[in-house]
Amino acid sequence: MQTTLSEQELLRRQKLEELKQLGIDPYPAHEFLVNVTAADIKENYDRDKLNYKNISIAGRLMMVRDMGKAAFAELQDATGRIQIYVKQDEICPTEDKTLYASVWKKLLDLGDIIGVEGYVFTTKVGEISIHVTNFKLLSKSLKPLPVVKTDEAGNSFDEVSDPEFRYRQRYVDLIINPKVKKTFEQRTKVVNSIRTFLNERGALEVDTPVLQSIPGGATARPFMTHHNALDMPLYMRIANELYLKRLIVGGFDWVYEFSRNFRNEGMDRTHNPEFTILEFYVAYRDYYWMMNTTEKLLEKIAMDLHGTTDLPVGDKTISFAAPFKRVSIFGSILEHTGIDVSKMNEDELRATCKQLHIEVDESMGKGKLIDCIFGEKCEGNYIQPTFITDYPVEMSPLTKKHRSEEGLVERFELMINGKEIANAYSELNDPIDQRERFEEQVKLMERGDDEAMFIDYDFLRALEYGMPPTAGIGIGIDRLCMLMTNQPSIQDVLFFPQMRPEKVVEPQDN
């Protein structure tokens, strides 16, 4: 992190002082009334010119072409850029035009936020522009923006060479890269599309606790904190599943939540310790119904965003048109390794991992060993949307046993572009079976598995009151947005991804 000021920053601070000496507040408190946007002008001016004779717009000064007593500049607001034209003897309707002209020519910088008044016209070359009759400085920028260049193909890029710059200083990234802003606008559209889908079907959006006394609902390592008033440990939630199922017990038939979850695990292009999951639970449904519903949901999102179900993802084209392929997990492992692991015990699975050169440790039970084999040898092969179904019971402590296959549960994971996007079950609602599953997790914890589940006694008590047959799903919103916006990294769809602290750059002795 920079601790000394550059020459440009020192110059901007000098201009700041000059503005104050001229009696101009560089950070005025009163509002500036805006009555139009750049996008509105560009979309509607040609057919509705009479409505743009007295406009007021505000934004960031992004470019200036000085022509002596006049200048063309570009103003960028939340909707895009528009050209403005400034003439020295028209810049302000007050008598002291010299003062405002000197401010415009000498004391403004790229990045400053200004408000302008005037009228819209079309230049000789046909560009829609604003003829400025008055302007006001609204916020002085003390740091220069990175220089943005455009190549022959129209692609923009900035001068910053640090690859972490965009994630660390997202606020600057959004200013200089319009495509980045569009990605996050599309992320919001994804969430809104999901909400519409669920709300139209009668689902109820709810909130559940982020701080939990027991980190339940998933197998993951939690973040831990301490509540001073209660003098007790608390955990940041790793999932909201058990609370949502309590609501099903309480009589709601369909509940959902966009849950901010926290897992104290590794970071890579598809993992961030803080992430968003959509979970919803529906009474009197099963995992077959959930597969059909998930297909319809993803198909709708693709159509809402792009008007098609065939989307580019990297160098591939992925079809979100239903139906999706369905493959059992044992069938997948057999297909991609040539080995049938369906009847293997823990020792045989461990030997198979060794044979396949998969690194494992003694804390891993049967479920994790199967998961490792699938993750290493199978998962990356599923580019088109595919439901991986019918997991072994050891991998799924919250899932109902399969209605016809001994030793399996009614669970699926949705794989797209080689990664898990969703995880769903026919939910376990037998409190005695659930207690036994939790106890098996405790045994794994005692073996050193720090991702094993705790026993949630209150959740067991809730089940004892009776939970109807229920289907539930968790969908990774960040990964889904990566697909829907064609972004290669989870950091590209998070405004502020988690990063290591910046190194302080100490001033050098001359």
At 158-182, the pLDDT tens digits run 555 466 788 999 999 999 989 999 9
**510 pLDDT higher than 50:** no
Q: What is the pLDDT of residues 469-507, one digit of tens each?
A: 999 999 999 999 999 999 999 999 999 999 888 876 655
Task: State the chain's mean pLDDT as an integer.
Answer: 92
Q: What is the pLDDT of residues 68-108, one digit of tens each?
A: 888 999 999 999 999 999 987 787 545 555 666 778 888 99
Q: Please name every residue paired with 254 in a beta bridge, in sequence order, or none if there are none.
A: 282
SS3 content of the chain, % helix, strand, coil (to 5): 35, 25, 40
Q: What is the pLDDT of residues 314-333, one digit of tens each?
A: 999 999 999 999 999 999 99
The separation between the first and the last C-alpha atoms of the chain, rounded to the nearest angstrom, is 20
Residue 363 CA from chain centroid, whole number? 33
Write the CB contacts of 243 (distance below 8 Å, at least 6 apart in sequence).
Answer: 208, 209, 217
Which position has the higher pLDDT, 195 or 150? 195
Q: Please name every residue paired with 312 in a beta bridge, in sequence order, or none if there are none.
A: 317
Kindly list the distances between the CA atom of residue 344 and the CA atoms of 340, 365, 366, in Å, as whole numbers in the listed order.
Answer: 8, 12, 9
Q: What is the pLDDT of residues 265-282, one digit of tens each?
A: 888 888 999 999 999 999
The span from the CA of 150 to the CA of 433, in Å, is 62
Q: Please name every residue paired with 121 in a beta bridge, in sequence order, or none if there are none.
A: 129
* CA-wise closest residue to 256 among 279, 283, 237: 279
**390 pLDDT higher than 80:** yes
Confidence (pLDDT) at 507:
52
Which position has the higher pLDDT, 196 or 49? 196
* CA-wise closest residue to 301 among 292, 309, 313, 293: 309
**What domains can you pick out in the chain, each with its CATH number?**
7-145 (2.40.50.140), 179-324+384-493 (3.30.930.10)
**248 pLDDT higher than 80:** yes
Q: Is the dihedral of CA 400, 401, 402, 408 positive or negative?
A: positive
Q: What angle do CA 498, 499, 503 make, to 5 degrees?
A: 150
Judged by DSSP in three states, 353 sits in helix
Question: With a threshold of 0.75, does the pTM exceed it?
Answer: yes
Q: 54 near 119, Cβ under 8 Å?
A: yes
Tokens of 312: 């580019």
| Strand (E) or helix (H) holding 377 | helix 366-377
Any idea which residue has 């994790």 for tokens? 368
HEC letters along 434-474: HHHHHHHHHHHHHCCCCCCCCCCHHHHHHHHHCCCCEEEEE
Q: 387 near 414, Cβ under 8 Å?
A: yes
Q: 495 near 184, Cβ under 8 Å?
A: yes
Judged by DSSP in three states, 26 sits in coil
Residues making up the chain, counted from first to last? 510
Q: What is the pLDDT of residues 195-246, one digit of tens each?
A: 999 999 999 999 999 999 988 888 789 999 999 999 999 999 999 999 999 9
Among 253-257, 378-382, 506-510, where is mean pLDDT lowest?
506-510
**156 pLDDT higher than 70:** no
* CA-wise closest residue to 216 among 243, 190, 177: 243
